[in-house]
Amino acid sequence: MIAIIDYGMGNLRSVQKGFERMGHEAVVTREPHTILDARRVVLPGVGAFPDCMRNLEEYGLIDAVQKSIASGKPFLGICLGLQLLFTESEEFGISKGLDIIKGKVVRFKGPAVKDLKIPHMGWNSLSIKRRPPALADVPDGSHVYFVHSFHVVPEDKSVIATTTDYGMEFVSSVWKDNIFATQFHPEKSQALGLSILKHFGEMKS
């Protein structure tokens, strides 16, 4: 069973439907024991970083996230669910994240993107640097769907799985041990995104 963490923010039903279309049982939950009992865990997210961190804390979910990752079970972060894994974000001032992956979440800025529309919204391509199991069927250069104004900057560049160009090269997914996390939305990326959810649902601890 796959637990999709409900902390009041995120495209939860579409993520659940994506897994179900691929034949994987998935439940939307904010019960820590359900998350801890699940074989795989998904942290989705849409919204503002500090609000999401506050909700995780208020619902008592931070411990379940940390213990799930520490247990070695497959863990998927989507969009803000990727950013929350990092040390801190500069969205609305400096906000502390879960600090599971060292690094920062920063806004698109600088001369390279000054003439581009922010948020970065729509289809863009992936440059695969390392291939986690979830990207088994994803050819280099494949297009996936993005909606975001901030991007992650990991301290350890070896965790980078893919990058994407939007006036500048930014990290579009990371892979560290049992964690795979994407800035893009697999659940909105049509057949290619569904294949990512399928392969994640088949990953073993």
Tell which residue, 1, 75, 21, has the closest CA to residue 189.
21
Tell which residue, 82, 6, 68, 10, has the closest CA to residue 39.
68
Is the confidence at residue 8, as pLDDT, over 90?
no
Is the confidence at residue 113, as pLDDT, over 80?
yes
For residues 64 and 27, is the Cβ–Cβ distance under 8 A?
no
Q: Which CATH fold would you assign to the domain 2-202?
A: Rossmann fold (3.40.50)
Is the confidence at residue 130, as pLDDT, over 80?
yes
Q: Is the pTM of this model over 0.85?
A: yes
79 a catalytic residue = yes
**Residue 86 — very low, low, confident or very high, per pLDDT cuts 50/70/90?**
very high
| Euclidean distance between CA atoms 171 and 153, whole angstroms | 7
| Euclidean distance between CA atoms 151 and 160, whole angstroms | 12
Which one of 52, 120, 151, 187 is the catalytic residue? 187
Q: pLDDT tens digits, residue range 175-184?
A: 999 999 999 9
Q: Can you give the pLDDT at residue 11?
A: 76
Domain ranges across the chain: 2-202
120 a catalytic residue = no
Which one of 79, 120, 148, 199 is the catalytic residue? 79
**Residue 45 — very low, low, confident or very high, per pLDDT cuts 50/70/90?**
confident
Q: Can you give the pLDDT at residue 128?
A: 98
Which one of 120, 151, 185, 199 is the catalytic residue? 185
| Euclidean distance between CA atoms 182 and 162, whole angstroms | 9
52 a catalytic residue = no
Q: pLDDT tens digits, residue range 87-96?
A: 999 998 999 9
